[in-house]
Amino acid sequence: MKTVIKLAIAAVLTTSAAFGAFAQEFTKGIVSKVDAKANKVTIKHEELKNLEMPAMTMVFRVEDPGLLAKLKEGSSVAFVAERVNGKLTVTEVK
């Protein structure tokens, strides 16, 4: 019985850890500039915990034109930024 309980606990912990690794944390920011030609956006953002960066204003790449269309200068956004091929890239916006 103890073995079954231990296995059940291990399964729950493993599932939780795996889910946490794939969960994306959104960061709040304000769009300062959109450069559609260069597929870049400038965002004044809160701390980017997943990238270990303090709050600041910086330029990000945007590979998905659909995301770029959602970004308007002066608008508040919640976004996910990641390193994609070594470049800071916005991968999700809501």
Name the pLDDT band for 18 (thresholds 50, 70, 90).
very low
Model pLDDT, residue 90? 97
Could you identify the residue written with the tokens 């946490």?
20
Q: Is a pLDDT exceeding 80 seen at residue 73? A: yes
Q: How far is CA 71 from CA 5, 54, 67, 89, in A?
A: 49, 22, 7, 14
DSSP tag of 94: -
State the chain's mean pLDDT as an integer.
85
Tell whether the torsion through CA atoms of 65, 30, 72 and 59 is positive or negative.
negative
Mean pLDDT of 77-91: 97
Q: Is the pLDDT of residue 3 over 60?
A: no
pLDDT at 69 over 60: yes
Domains recognised in the chain with CATH numbers: 25-93 (2.40.50.320)
Are 47 and 75 a contacting pair, CB within 8 Å? no
For the entire predicted model, the pTM comes to: 0.76
Write down the pLDDT at residue 91. Answer: 96
DSSP string, 45-80: ES-BGGGTB-SEEEEEE---HHHHHH--TT-EEEEE
